[in-house]
Homo-oligomer: A and B are copies of this chain.
Amino acid sequence: MKETITIKTLAKELNISISTVSKALNDSYEISIETKQKVWDLAKMLKYNRNPSASNLRSHKTKTIAVIIPEIANNFFSQAINGIEEVARQRGYHVLIYQTHENTDQEIAFTDSLLSGRVDGILISVSSDHDNRDHFTALVKEIPTVFFDRVYEDIDAARITTDDYESAYNATSYLVECGCKKIAYLFALNNLNAGKQRMSGYQDALKAHQLAYREELTVNYDKDADLNYQNIKDLMLNERPDAVISSIEDLALPCYYVCKELGIHIPDDLKIISFSNLNTAPLLNPSLTTITQPALEMGRQAAAILFKILDKKHFEPNEWLTLKSTLIKRDSTACH
């Protein structure tokens, strides 16, 4: 515990005023280059570090952003955070992480607690358990916010998504072209636009190929993993689809297990495509055809947009960005 060194220390040492030191450290035009240099040198020598609390309190700038996501132990989100952290780092910003575990109450608690000036802005991928748009409608008026991947369409804020509709449409079409006639859909994120878009893409593609949409071919995601497993198993036993599109990774993997248990051979008996950012997709048995979102790039872009907003304080028309996912064809959809 050595005595902490402050701008006061520097001022005393150099025989100049506190304000001169402060302005020198902030590279103000009011200070001569010689004085600045002296201050900088001494600061480095004494390993001076600006006290962030004092600075924030006075200036209302925190150099900190918050990232709110459903789950960190998830390939998509951890890659997105990677991208966010990267650009935050370049700007000297700090990154706070909050997990909602798909709980809107938690989500509300987090955002509320961030309104007291702890952060300059928020990056968020919303929870899927309840519709929370009223809360966010109010939030975005209070603090610069960028939504990524999981967004509300009708909120007046910046957002970045992927082409969910097209991806699902194309994936479904691809399966049809492979000769599949009975394509099941593993449905998740149904409260969110992303989920609805994916479902629409699937439905419209069916229609475009003269195939009927049947609700019995749909499994709805549940928080209970065992239940998901059972539901998929029931689907396989009762309907025996010849293909499956999964709207999230967490439903595709149990599907693999079910097939293993029931002796259903992929891709001969059943073809599988999943929205997924698994880096081991090529190594699965069989390798999994995926619709892969540009997670890292989304993180980067989302952060970039937030900083753009923070730079010019006046709220401009909000940016709406859509990135393309890529369909990577692998063995789980191999045609003969």
Contacts and interface: CB of A to CB of B under 8 A. Distances in A.
Interface residues of A, number: 48
A82 interface: yes
A278 B79 CA distance: 15
Contact of A287 (B64, B82, B113, B285): B285
Contacts of A279: 253
Nearest to A64: B96
A52 B285 CA distance: 51
Nearest to A55: B53
A280 B281 CA distance: 9
Interface string A80-94: 011001100100001
A115 interface: yes
A262 interface: no
Interface in A87-126: 89, 94-99, 112-113, 115-118
Nearest to A63: B118
A125 B58 CA distance: 34
A50 interface: yes
Nearest to A252: B283
A51 B96 contact: no
A95 B115 CA distance: 16
A48 B72 CA distance: 30
B285 A116 contact: no
B85 A51 contact: no
Interface in A21-52: 47, 49-52
Which residue, A62, A253, A279, A296, has most C-beta atoms of chain B within 10 A? A279
Interface string A247-286: 0000001001100000000000000000000111001111
A253 B82 contact: no
Which residue, A112, A115, A280, has most C-beta atoms of chain B within 10 A? A280
A119 B324 CA distance: 38
A10 B49 CA distance: 34
Contacts of A94: 96, 118
Contact of A73 (B78, B112, B253, B283): B78
A80 to B, nearest CB: 9
Contacts of A193: none
9 contacts: A53-B57, A57-B57, A72-B82, A73-B78, A86-B99, A95-B98, A96-B97, A253-B279, A253-B280
